[in-house]
Structure 1
Amino acid sequence: MKVPVSALEGCLASFIAADERRTKASTQFFADTGLMAMLCRHDHVLWLVNMTTAGERQYYALVLIKMLFMNLPLSMTVGILYDIGCQLERCCQIWGFLEEFMARILFALVVFHAYGHQWPCQLVYHPHKCEGFGLSDGEGCERFWSAIKLLIPSMRVAGFYHWLFTIDTQVKHLDKKSFDMMGKWLQRKWLTCLERKIEAEEILNELGFEISLLENEWKQQVAAQTKPLAQQSKNIAIIAIKEILALYTAKKSFATELGGLDDQLISGAYEDDMSVEDVLAACKAIMKKQGVIDANIKTKKKRLGVKDQDDLRKLMGNKFLQLKLNARALKQRLRDHLRNRKFELERLERAYQQTTSNETKLHSHVQKQINRQQPTIARLAKKYNDMCYDMTKQIQEGKASGNSIAPVPINQEHLFALDVDEHESEIIPGWLGNENICEGITAMLIAKRCAEEMARIKQERTALQEWSREEWEAINMAIVMCEDEDIEHQLVIRKSRHLSLCAQWREQVSLIPDTYPMLKGWGPDIKDMDSV
């Protein structure tokens, strides 16, 4: 998996949709308990499935995805945005669901729900951090539910066929309304994308960083913050000591091998198929490995807090050492949680600069999700402090070595003001300690998503014009060939409506360039469209 299991478990506990046992509607009173929909990025409903279970089951999403791929070319790759896209991909990989389509699927989270997920999950699955999703937000379903929620009171007492007819009629109405406004939709998306791209490029130019540097820092950040968190264990001290002893054994083995090679150089009697150059190269390789082993032993001993002359085997069951290593793992876990919270708060600071109602709503939602994580952080801090007090008690009772020092407990009143930008190595990476690089990474990601979005909008604008021209030709051909007056009358009405649409779309998408040179015109004559 791209994300640690601990982060996925946290996401699983945060969302009702991920809990299949959660009852949303009673099957005792309702045969159909809800709907699940699949929409395209233009908010057109593709398919609806009626739910017959009390909770939201994963197989509803799976059957919708399978239906989608049954109607797509074999070469097409699809990006799927879902409230719990991380959990869906996890189940597909574990249980082999959608196995024949997985190579052509990119999973991501919908924007509004992404901030309820763990930070490592956001790094990998947030659509504005994933390649290929552009500025799509995936919130079409929420807008669709908002549009049909007025039907809820009447549908509770309606019969099955009345219910089905009403839903179908409402969906057709919404699709028609959205289709008529397609030009306006493309125009709005284009102008928004252009504005955000210019803003991101201005930031990048002001900072002056090379894109390759920012890309490298971003890769390092993702790699560092999606590593599995340190775990506590009853046998953590025993495992750490065994690792050091194993390194000593390997070092001894290499020393023996190196001694044999030295003997060959001294005597001049080389083994079969070996020359003096081969022996020297083998000696150099072994000494390099010995250097790596020595560095690892030094690092591991430093973490244990033991000296070279200490007998490691005697420390196997040392209670103080176990507490120390567990406290270290807990402190690292606490630091990672605080660091993730810091990165999430940066999103809040950017939201304050926006004035639209959507951004205000998003700010409120993000603040709520961040506050939900504070009790977990406080519990980790309390547990760490308890371990510090236990180690102090061990030292006072003489159960620890004479030079042992207990770590200082954390002041919980200032817990969320701690500086968490320290790093395990002496050099703090740019993505963690350099605010300009952090700002540059954000601007780089926005600029890349804007470039993807603009390319996609150009293709959609071109497809819209091509379809309009083909539709106009088809309508005219149908009128010429029609022999029924009633049908001809309907075709004339459709021609008039299409003429109005062409005139409207042509004006609205005039700022958007084509993706490739194409025949000019939308089908109708320019004079006819101007007159409309």
Structure 2
Amino acid sequence: VDEEVLQAEWKAQVQHQMKPTPRRSKKKGKQEIAKVLELEELVAAHSQTISSLEIQLMTGRVDDSTTFNIEVAEARSQLDKLKDTLQRRRAALGVDNRANLARLKTNKYLHIQMNALTLKTRLCNHLHQRKFEQERLERSYRQDLSEQRLHTHAESALQRREPTILHLVSSYNSLCDQLEALICQRKHLHGMVAPHHISREGIFNLDVDDNIWQDVGLGDDVGDPPAWLSDEDVRAGIRLLLEKDRCSEE
């Protein structure tokens, strides 16, 4: 694997693992809707600003056309970014207009769906951490007795993490059951489908085709697992790259 690819994957791995883990909240659904409403207001404000600038240009009230054009270009760029973010937020909610957003403020289905997505994110983070701890444990088996303390620590960390992961799986599946019940009662949003349950059996294997990687029914496409997690060549290459960097520092 090319060294530049390994460096990029290592950077992505660090960024991913350093992100704060979202917490569950009873107000999670309303918070997501509030973000959409706030973005809508920002889009409207930026659109009005651009319209004012265009009117200013058409009426000839511009002193420096070069500076003015740069200002307009920056305003349009910001507006495009806001619209893109707003579109993604709306897609995550499963709604198309503000009227629907207003009705969703106390929607039970949305509340459970957002909590399920948050739980799944936490579950993935715990599984990622356990995966790396397990690799450290496996490597310690191949080292001499001086590494016994590290081996014991890694083994203890694995044992402590397993109950938390299994509890998250149970909680997530419970939320999936609630969403399925709401769908049966026709209390769900139009076009919504229930997310897939996650099996406790084999949860620690992190196979690439596991349901843990599928965000069906959660309004957020994660896609394939990153190479730093799923590609053994990249993973081994990152370890060698870090060892090389340490040697260079010494």
Give the Cα–Cα distance (whole angstroms) in 2 for the partners of residues 302 and 339 of structure 1.
27
Q: Does 1:259 align with 2:51?
A: yes
Of 313, 329, 337, the match for 2:126:
337
Change (3 A) 1:428 1:413: closer
Q: 1:366 aligns with which of 154, 176, 182?
A: 154
Secondary structure of 1:218's aligned partner: helix
Partner Cα separation in structure 1 for residue 225 and residue 190 of structure 2: 33
Following TM superposition, by how much is the alpha carbon of 1:306 offset from its aligned partner in structure 2, in angstroms?
Answer: 2.3
DSSP 3-state at the match of 1:446: helix
Separation in structure 2 between the aligned mates of residue 255 and residue 246 of structure 1, nearest angstrom: 14
| Separation (CA, whole Å) in 1 of partners of 2:77 and 2:223 | 23
Distance 1:321 1:425, change over 3 A: closer
**Structure 2 counterparts to residues 277-356 of structure 1, below 5 A:** 277-308=66-97, 311-354=100-143, 356=144
**Preserved contact between residue 133 and residue 157 of structure 2 (Cα < 8 Å):** no
Distance 1:342 1:240 in 2: 31
Aligned AA for 1:394?
Answer: L
Is there any run of 5+ residues in structure 2 with no aligned partner, and where? 215-220
TM-score of the superposition, structure 1-length normalised? 0.42
Which residue in the other structure is 1:431 paired with? Answer: 228
Aligned residue in 2 for 1:415: 203
Tell me which protein shows more strand as a share of its residues.
1
Q: Compute the displacement of 1:286 (Å).
A: 1.3
Shift of 1:381: 0.5
Looking at structure 2, the residues matched to 245 and 215 of structure 1 have their Cα atoms a distance apart, in angstroms, of 39
Query: Is the alpha carbon distance of 1:263 and 1:427 closer, same or farther for their aligned partners in structure 2, counting shifts above 3 Å?
Result: farther
Provide the rounded CA distance (Å) in 2 between the counterparts of 1:243 and 1:296: 10
Pairing of 1:215-230 with structure 2 (within 5 A): 215-230=7-22
- 2:246 pairs, out of 429, 449, 467, with 449
In structure 2, relative to structure 1, the CA distance for the partners of 1:349 and 1:283 (3 Å cut) is: same
Q: 2-side partners of 1:351 and 1:392: how far apart?
A: 45
The TM-score normalised by the length of structure 2 is: 0.85
The runs of 4+ residues in structure 1 deviating greater than 6 Å are none
Q: Aligned residue for 1:14?
A: none
Letter aligned with residue 305 of structure 1: G
Q: Secondary structure at the match of 1:438?
A: helix
Equivalent residue, structure 2, for 1:530: none
Asked if structure 1 preserves the Cα contact closer than 8 Å seen for 2:94 and 2:189, the reply is: no
Q: 2:130 touches 2:158 (CA, 8 Å); kept in 1?
A: yes
CA distance in structure 2 between the partners assigned to 1:372 and 1:258 by the alignment: 55
Structure with the bigger RCO (C-alpha within 8 Å, sep 6+) is: 2
Partner Cα distance (1:307, 1:285) in 2: 27
Aligned to 1:381: 169
Q: What is the distance in 2 between the residues matched to 1:236 and 1:373?
A: 26
CA distance in 1, matches of 2:172, 2:226: 26
Match of 1:43 in 2: none
Deviation per residue, 1:291-337 (Å, 9 max, x gap): 10111011112222223475211110111100000000000100111
CA pair 337-244 structure 1, distance change in 2 beyond 3 A: same
1:348 positional shift: 2.3
Alpha-carbon displacement from aligned partner over 1:157-203 (angstroms, at most 9, x marks no partner): xxxxxxxxxxxxxxxxxxxxxxxxxxxxxxxxxxxxxxxxxxxxxxx
Over 3 Å counting, the alpha-carbon distance change for 1:322 and 1:416 in structure 2 is same
Tell me the distance in 1 between the aligned counterparts of 2:46 and 2:190: 35
Partner of 2:25: 233
Q: Would the alpha carbon gap of residues 404 and 363 (structure 1) be closer, same or farther in structure 2, given more than 3 Å must change?
A: same
CA distance 1:428–1:266, change in 2 (3 Å): farther
Counterparts of 1:56-75 in structure 2, within 5 Å, are none
- Superposition map of 1:111-260 within 5 A: 207=1, 209-210=2-3, 213-260=5-52
Distance, in Å, in 1 between the alignment partners of 2:183 and 2:223 is: 29
Q: 3-state DSSP class of the match of 1:409?
A: coil
CA distance in 2, matches of 1:346, 1:308: 47
Tell me which structure has the larger Cα radius of gyration.
1
Deviations 1:275-300 (A, max 9, x none): 22233222211111111011101111
Can you list the C-alpha shifts for 1:68-126, whole angstroms capped at 9, x where unaligned?
xxxxxxxxxxxxxxxxxxxxxxxxxxxxxxxxxxxxxxxxxxxxxxxxxxxxxxxxxxx
Quote the offset at 1:219 in angstroms.
3.0
CA 1:310–1:349 in 2, change beyond 3 Å: closer, same or farther?
Answer: farther
DSSP-derived class of the 2:202 partner: helix
Per the TM alignment, residue 393 of structure 1 is displaced from its structure 2 partner at its CA by 1.5
Q: Which residue of structure 2 lines up, in the alignment, with residue 396 of structure 1?
A: 184
- SS of residue matched to 1:260: helix
Matching residue's letter, 1:369: A
CA distance, structure 1, for counterparts of residue 230 and residue 97 of structure 2: 34
